Structure 1
Amino acid sequence: MKDGKLNGELLDPHANEDQQFSLTEYIQRYYRYWYLFPVFVFLCLIGAFFYLQITPPIYSTKTTILIKDEKKGLGGAQGDILTELSSQFGGNKLVENEQEIIQSQTLMEQVIKELTLDVAYTAKDGLRTINLYKSSPIIIKPEVITPLGFKEPMILHVVDSTHFRFNDEDKVFTFNQRFNNAWGAFVVTKGTASEFSTVKVHFMEVKELAEAMLKRLAVEQPNIKSTVLELTYQDSNVQRSKDVLNKLLDVYVQSSLADKNSEASNTLKFIENRLGLITGELGDVEKDVESYKTNQGITDISAESQLFLENIKENDAKLNEVNTKISILESVDNYIQNAGEGAVAPATYMIDDPVLVSLLTKFNDLELQRERYARTTSPNNPLLQTINTQLAGTRQSIRENVQNLKRGMAVTKKNLEGINTRFSAGLRSIPKKEREFVGIKRQQSIKEELYLYLLQKREETALAYASTVTDSRLIDAPISTFYPVKPKKALIWLGAGFMGFAIPILLINILFLFNNTVQRREEIERATHASILGEIGQMKTEKGVPATDAIIKMTSRSAVAEQFRALRTNLQYLGDGTCRVIMFTSSIGGEGKSFISINLAASLAFSDKRVLLIGLDLRKPTLHERLGLPNKYGASNCLIGQGNYFDYIQSTGVHPKFDVLTSGPIPPNPSELLANGRLPLLIDDLKQHYDYILIDSPPYGLVTDSALIADHVDATLYIVRFNYTIMDHLKRIGELQRARRFSNLSVIFNGVKYGAGYGYGYGYGGYGYGYYSEETESSAKSLGSKFKGMIGNS
């Protein structure tokens, strides 16, 4: 590829010039379509006006709450008795977790149900649709909603204070009745007084509505070092936005309190169960004491038995405490094994081992968090899976700790039982009756102490349960913005103005991106490196005007006439200035060869030159049609040697010195006829009688006839037409120029439309030239020219 590029640069020294970018040319391309900019700016501003009229204003409502974060402070006084009691059940929270909980689908669905937001009322106010939250003249209490009800709104027309109509029905109904229709079953009641008599009722799925509302809710932490959360909700109705935030915080608080009270409730159940058992045992022991005293007649105990009694009592208390701890450890073990299956949580404050208490507290906290997230998140939520993993690890640690404690308690129990054995041996000296009484009394004392202990703990737990407070506190009540946050009018107007400029620029660039035709004189110069002998402006003719009217009045002072005079003057610069036989050709038909050759010949004739125009387009001649002359005989007759060519030359009637030799009958072999050797003889003879001989030849890009004629002329004028000649055809001119196939080759730029952005207007009148026009016109016209025609190209 590098070698190919290098060779290309060596063969074409002007290759780099084709790649040069001209800022002036780039800017000038927009001049032609200057009118698009005010049009699109106006349209965009009109669109912005209607958008602002249709779009309801959106207001932002904000509130702030304080969360007690275990990492960032307790959020209350350390000595507060309520704080100490509530800290036994639930503990503090993580701000990040609460931030996600507030934005949960479950809480928002509960808000919708409590505020009945799944039934919305709207009315038309001019171009705008407004929401009639808490101001609707009718209220609907749905019982059953059909699928149609969720898809299509139901329209109600208020007739008077007691009657209304459904949709387009003429039947009148009364308020406070139950109705059944295609939308479902519901009761319609009278609402508040309203200026609107026609109301649209929208029934919405709670789940879908919750998802939409959560997108308008933002929960942020303004300061990472604080535990304050800022809730922002955007809505077109200010009152509804305040109600949503208030209800959301209320639902959140209730959910939080329910979670916190669950542990205290489980503890109360556990204590109540234990109290029931101890009460029964204590009653049995007291009956035994009463029965034994009655049967044995015991009234007092000796000092010795009293001493043994105190020692055994103290030892039994320790032994009972050990048994109680073992029982508690067994209940802890049972709770850990059956956690999540309705097991009653043990009382952590009845355990004196700090490690086990810490593990149980952590386990309960994790269990509460798991239950809370299970209600608000999916089972595959990573946070829920993390909590389950922590629960499993904590459960294993608790079981290991319990086993270790039970082994230690077993050793202590064994030692205490040994001590009791020794004390019992000392009591053998006590009379049997007294000893038996002491044993019964001892059991009574133990049961009483345990009973009083459980009563005390039950009261403490009940007080903590009743005094449970939320872990969040409202700082600022919901406050709405005074001005709407959406749509931003200034931004909309600015954006509309910008789009009014951007759209035309985009369209014009797309137009030129797909336009592959010649647009500017500089494009011809860069692609062909040939001199441009002249420019001919656009000549407008009305549709249906005869072709002969395309001949310019050379005596006029029109711009096109002046350009032909300038072209006539420039002929003296062709070659060495003696070029008198000139051929006109082009790439394809319709580029204006006949038009330019006729009018240039007329201009030369008006400058007192004898001019002969020869039509050598032997395949599809049109010269005679443009001049309104017969074509029975002509150049084809001369080339086959039939008759004297002076017999076939006709006067055009345009000027006495302007003659024409039409093409004559169409031969079967035009190329062979041009190459039979008679053409140079014909031209040499005619040069003796005429100052200029102009030859209208076929397009070089389609047939080889022009190449045969070019060998016998002094100069060649190649016609290129604005917005018609394809850019690729310019390469052919450049190749002819470099190879010097045509002598004294120059270009005439035809069909130029002058004005703003010269070089970007287009077309060449309503008059068609048509060489092979039926076959080639569609291929010659690019998509760009068609597109430009759509936007006003004349």
Structure 2
Amino acid sequence: MKGHKIIVEKLEEFNSQTPFFCYSRHTISTAFAISRKLSMTTTKESNIINISYSDVSSERAIDILNGLIGIYDRDLERDKSLSFSQAINFIDKRLIPLGRELDSIENALASFRASKGYVGLSANSEMYLEKMKEYDKQLTEINILKSTVASIERFINDPNLKESDLSFVGVNDPYLQGVLRQYQDLRSQRDKLALVQTDDNPNMQVLDRKLIELRSSMNAVLGNYKNNLRIAESTYQQNIASANAYLRGAPLDEKQLLEKSRLQNIKEQLYLTLLQKREEASIARASVTVNTKMLYPPVKVNAVLKPSRSIVLSAAIIIGLLLPVLFAIVRELLNRKIISKKQLQAMTNIPVIAELEQADNMDKRPIVIGRNKRSMFGEQIRSLRTNINFYRTHGKKTNFVLITSSVSGEGKSFLSMNLAKSYALQGKKVALLEFDLRRPKISKALDISSEKAGLTSVLIGKVEPQDIVVRIAGDNLKDKLDVFPAGAIPPNPQELISGEFIGKVKQYLDANYDVVVIDTPPFGIVADAQILGEWADVTLIVTRFQQTIRDQIQEINEWHNRKLFRNMALVFNGVRDKGYFGSKYGNYYYKRKYGYGYYSSEGSVPSEDAEKKS
């Protein structure tokens, strides 16, 4: 019911002095309640299962047992017919495109006949086509069987594959069909038993031994089957090669007509063969029967049920001790997000060179650092800038810093803008490149019109790099910060980035700038960042507090192990409420952490020109 709430309704129509109530509850909770009262036992080396159900109402217990047995029979019948349903689904998926191919071939053949004035073929050509039609029919059936045998081999040799990965199309050998049915039944029994038993259970071990023996026998049978198919295929290939000798002496137009006619015959024969196999699978599915039988119907057995005081007391003590531990474990398992720099460092060998707090008013001010402003975020950006210098290539004029992340929304564009301005305030000539061509955010944040020519125009050779520069004023930057906006969103960003004009951008940057900050798309979504990674002296991977999940860190580790980026380093961004004085009392944090005075978030400080040596 909606909201899984218990619905109680008084039944007024009952002729009784005692009121009646009915209620409905969630299916899952009902299933658990039934399973607690259900008991099943088996006798050793027997296929008989004794089922009992305990309930205050014997009539309800009998109804539940009858219902469970009926559901089991239906599930068993569905499992037995699963392979036929899979074959039908497989054939249906093949028939649609095959029908379109056949129509196209027939239309092309008709057009060819009309253009060449052909009405019919010579007697020899007709004889050739009849031979090839028969050979192609046999080869089509052989190829279907080879595909089916490969599917069966994968299924029996890989326990992780499900029955939905199995196909029986074309298998007509009674012995092989019987062995496959037996193997499927054993696999199904083991999978169901594994839900309630461990591998050490005697019944599980018996099934495992049977499966091993049957798997060995099936591999031998399939090996012989494949050898026979190879021999038959070789024979028909030789026959086809012999028949094709006729084509060498045929006129060119007739040769082309024969080739088109043969292609039509191949597709037509494959189409008809699949239709035949589908009909066979439908008949087989309709004839499936279950091999279970109820020996005795459920009967009422009177018994007195009462709880054991000692068991209840022991269970209460154990649960009381385990609950706090389980709560802590579950909370840790359910929380897949990164919440601390220490946790991030424990999951990777990539250095974490910066930890950035959540900047204030970042929605209203995309660039929050300034010449006469000092805040915790600004100091962290300056510390990051200092750490980047350790990765700089000695003797190289231009330092390239590539900034990316695994997914969108982790703050890479925001970091790119503020890091670029930090370098500009230091007196460096800085270029900020908006290479996130699919979802450009820097242009929007800096109010740069999307109609203005940008990197997209440069990469198609329409304009030169210097024609798209947007110079950022303010804070007495003195033409130190240039933005290269993305421009119009192209349909093929990756092809543009890897195109012939990208080298022109690189040459212009090398000749005119000290530092180049590149904002790229998330590397976990597209490959643009990897293409631009060849430029980078250092690659900053941005992660975010309570947003980046552990699986993304594993993906970053894989990229690091494959060395797809140069000098990878992590930035932990958007940190809030870290649990020490700095999280809520920022002014006091600066006094204790840095030891050089008291700073408010917007307080005036000496000019940043004094930091140019950092």
The interval holding the TM-score normalised by the smaller chain is 0.3 to 0.5
* Structure whose CA Rg is larger: 1
Determine which structure has greater relative contact order: mean sequence separation of CA pairs < 8 Å that are 6+ residues apart, divided by chain length: 1
